[in-house]
Amino acid sequence: MYIPKHFLVEDRTSLFEFIENNSFGIVFSTHDNVPVASHLPFLLDWENDCLISHFARPNEQWKEIEGQEVLAVFPGPHTYISSSWYETNMSVPTWNYVAVHVYGSVAIIEDHTEVLQSLKKLISKYETVDSPYEINETNNELVEGLTRGIVPFRLKINRMEGKWKLSQNHSEDRQKRVIEQLEQSESEDDRKIAELMRTNLGK
């Protein structure tokens, strides 16, 4: 990923926290020298520097993924930045966004107990108090049968790239002008970018 120095984020904790909060990613690999990709929910294992997810078995991306260096992309909030918000017309529009790229190697998870544990952790991560679904003795037989239809895998993280493009290459006054405009928007992404920009200015 092209990352000018203004936008580079290297802190491991910041990158991991971002992945935790934006954990529906895209994993890219190749088949016959052609890129292939799948959109998947991921679990992050902080202690072992790896990501855990699963393919649907009919998705043939899993068949050749072991032994490749793969890329998992985690996009975050993003928004258009109008140059009309600046103090001068001698400027151009741009796009602000945050994203993390993870590079690593994949190993298929074969152990059935580990497969069930990973599914339980995935469900636990996304369930809420209002909808407390869980795998237990009432549905365990069904779930165990359905696990034959998935291919769980572990992605060992070799390196990460983080890009926080938040107008850091502009003056503080111009950044504040952008924040003020974004905070007035009804778009959730606009307001999230404004919040990140305000936090970055406060450093």
For 161-189, the pLDDT digits (tens) are: 999 999 999 999 999 999 999 999 999 99
**How far is it, in rounded angstroms, from Cα 146 to Cα 102?**
29
For 23-42, the pLDDT digits (tens) are: 999 999 998 889 999 999 99
Contacts of 41 (CB under 8 A, 6+ apart): 23, 24, 25, 53, 122, 126
Q: Does domain 5-169 have CATH number 2.30.110.10?
A: yes
pTM: 0.91
Contact status, residue 161 vs residue 11, Cβ threshold 8 Å: no
The alpha carbon of residue 102 and the mean position of all alpha carbons in its chain are separated, in whole angstroms, by 9
Contact status, residue 28 vs residue 104, Cβ threshold 8 Å: no
Quick one: which of 188, 160, 182, 175 has its CA closest to 13?
A: 160
The alpha carbon of residue 19 and the mean position of all alpha carbons in its chain are separated, in whole angstroms, by 5
